[in-house]
Amino acid sequence: MQMWVYVVRRAALVIPVVIGVMTVLFVLISALPTVERTCSFYHPSGRTSPCTTQIPCSTDPSKLCPNPVYQSAVNALGLNKPIFVQWAIYIGNALTFQWGYVAQGSALGTGETGSGLPSLAGQSVATVLSEFLPYTIELALLALLIILVVSIPLGNLSAVYRNRPIDQASRVMSFSGYALPAFLLGSLILAGVTFALGGPAAPSKICGGTSTVFLDFYGSWPTPPCTPLYGTANIGPVGYPAWLSIGYISTPTGFPTVDSAIHGQYWLALDTLLRLVLPALVIAYTTIAGLLRFVRNSMLEVMNQDFIRTARAKGLPEQTVIKKHAGRNSLNVTITVLGLTFAGFITGFPVVEIVFNLWGVGRIYAYSVVGGVNDWDFGVLFGTTLLFTYLVVAANIIVDIMYAYLDPRVRLG
């Protein structure tokens, strides 16, 4: 079977999965009370939310609601049509990124997130997420890099030097990674670094001034006095995170470091990148934990195979036997497992972004579920869930293709 056939088929397999995911979400959504649905999934004007005034309508949706906004919402979502029509409508919306709008009542809507984030009420969920996605992607890429660089060599080593100190060390590492909650690890590292550099109150090492060491690691952006862009309010349209009240620059790519570099603010770029290192480490640590044992065990399995014996019998040096013959074979397993754990990997983002006070999709998600019943923002909530699912699916496709590339049995299968 040619490669492209394989790729196309693998991609085709995604369709049912994606549809299925949407269906699951649809089932959940349609279990919501009517008003919650209308608040966040349909927004006629794009500015004001129908919910705040129309709560009474929710008490019994069947009764014709006087409010035209509410009524039009019901029509637009097809709430008065048979269920499968509603389903079709939802699928359509989900595929076309019409994921609803930030509700006014929610924390995001009122801007009571305590993070300087202005009220996003009425903004389209997709837009908000798209603005924050690049931050998360940067973090993810860094974390993935760390994961691959650490887990594969370490796993192989601990298989080769089985039950010797290095194996034990990696074992302890992986278990502690399993057992340490990400938020705990994060706060500990944060606290540790802070105190190592002179405690929370000590002045910043990077830019001095009133900023503190703690703030050098806390948050996506340096605090105002350090920002070379400070005061340059006349640059470009809104795009550079406006809620950091430090002026405006254009963001061609949306990726903070890249943009800063583009604007020639290399120091800012570096600073932004440095702020990603600790969180990336935290995420990587927890993911590596899951990966390490698999790598080791698969390596052990491969080392028992006949062809390893053959390689030795051919008189190849042990290094070649391990690196080439065993390593390449166990790499397949590693990649597959990485694909499987990707969902878990992504799940780590909300927590870490909260701990380190980073901008990103995860943090927005956290804000959408914060607080009590009336603070929830269903649009953002389900929108983020969709987004993350898309990411996972995409990752799995990539993994499978890589696998096929690495293993001729699959490629030519």
Rounded to the nearest whole angstrom, what is the least distance from the CB of residue 410 to another protein in the complex? Answer: 10
Angle at 342 between CA 127 and CA 177, to 5 degrees: 120
- Please name the residue ranges forming H helices in 218-265: 256-262
Output Rg (C-alpha) for the chain, integer angstroms: 25
Binder of another protein out of 229, 396, 399, 404 (CB under 8 A)? 396
Task: Measure the CA–CA gap between 214 and 212, rounded to whole angstroms.
Answer: 5
Task: Measure the CA–CA gap between 170 and 133, rounded to whole angstroms.
Answer: 33
Task: Measure the CA–CA gap between 296 and 164, rounded to whole angstroms.
Answer: 13
Q: Is 370 exposed, middle or buried (0-12, 13-18, 19+ CB in 10 A)?
A: middle
Stretch that binds another protein, among 70-78, 117-125, 260-268, 321-329 (CB under 8 A): 321-329
The reply on whether position 306 binds another protein by CB under 8 A is: yes
The reply on whether position 336 binds another protein by CB under 8 A is: no
User: Residue 235 CA to chain centroid, in angstroms?
Assistant: 30
Binder of another protein out of 59, 75, 176, 253 (CB under 8 A)? 176
The reply on whether position 8 binds another protein by CB under 8 A is: yes
Binder of another protein out of 91, 148, 340, 401 (CB under 8 A)? 340
Binder of another protein out of 88, 91, 180, 197 (CB under 8 A)? 180
Do residues 42 and 73 touch, judged by C-beta distance below 8 A? yes
Q: Which CB atom, from 240 or from 345, has the smaller least distance to another protein?
A: 345
Please, which of residues 12-71 interact with another protein by CB under 8 A?
16-17, 20-21, 24-25, 28-29, 31-33, 36
Do residues 288 and 282 touch, judged by C-beta distance below 8 A? no
Please, which of residues 195-214 interact with another protein by CB under 8 A?
200-201, 212, 214
Task: Measure the CA–CA gap between 195 and 211, rounded to whole angstroms.
Answer: 15
The reply on whether position 393 binds another protein by CB under 8 A is: yes
Rounded to the nearest whole angstrom, what is the least distance from the CB of residue 249 to another protein in the complex? Answer: 26
# chain residues binding another protein, by CB under 8 A: 98
Q: Which CB atom, from 47 or from 309, has the smaller least distance to another protein?
A: 309
The reply on whether position 325 binds another protein by CB under 8 A is: yes
Q: Which CB atom, from 112 or from 262, has the smaller least distance to another protein?
A: 112
Task: Measure the CA–CA gap between 206 and 212, rounded to whole angstroms.
Answer: 9
The reply on whether position 406 binds another protein by CB under 8 A is: yes
Task: Measure the CA–CA gap between 116 and 256, rounded to whole angstroms.
Answer: 18
Rounded to the nearest whole angstrom, what is the least distance from the CB of residue 142 to another protein in the complex? Answer: 19
Rounded to the nearest whole angstrom, what is the least distance from the CB of residue 373 to another protein in the complex? Answer: 6
Distances (CA, A) of 166 to 120, 158, 160, 232, 287: 51, 6, 10, 53, 19
User: Which two tokens mark 385?
Assistant: 């869930």
Contacts of 42 by beta carbon, 8 Å cutoff, 6+ apart:
50, 72, 73, 76, 77, 100, 101
The reply on whether position 1 binds another protein by CB under 8 A is: yes
Please, which of residues 213-252 interact with another protein by CB under 8 A?
214-215, 218
Tell me the per-residue interface mask from 249 to 288 with another protein, x by CB under 8 A, - otherwise: ----------------------------------------
Q: Which CB atom, from 64 or from 184, has the smaller least distance to another protein?
A: 184
Helix (H, G, I), strand (E, B) or coil at 228: coil
Binder of another protein out of 5, 11, 64, 149 (CB under 8 A)? 5
